[in-house]
Copies of this chain bind each other. A is one copy, B any other.
């Protein structure tokens, strides 16, 4: 099964990467950019008996390794 995990920074958490990139773009002459947000997408190939089991297992992988639950939210989407 292909599973897509969308990991986004929690809205209340400061985003230094975004702030830095906006400044860098403006310095390069792209003054029209006012905001930037960086998210991650992880695509996994996973085997399992059912989509429910795979979804639960992948959520556990996120909590244990793939996402940082203090800073990030994640969403698990079974693709096929």
Chain A residues within 8 Å of B, Cβ to Cβ:
6, 21, 24-25, 28, 30, 32-48, 54, 57, 60-61, 64-66
Contacts and interface: CB of A to CB of B under 8 A. Distances in A.
Query: Number of copies of this chain in the oligomer?
Result: 2
B21 A33 contact: no
B39 A61 contact: no
A24 B21 CA distance: 31
A56 to B, nearest CB: 12
A61 B9 CA distance: 22
23 contacts: A6-B41, A21-B65, A21-B66, A25-B65, A28-B65, A30-B60, A32-B48, A32-B57, A33-B44, A33-B46, A33-B61, A34-B45, A34-B46, A36-B44, A36-B45, A37-B43, A37-B44, A38-B41, A39-B40, A39-B41, A39-B43, A40-B40, A41-B41
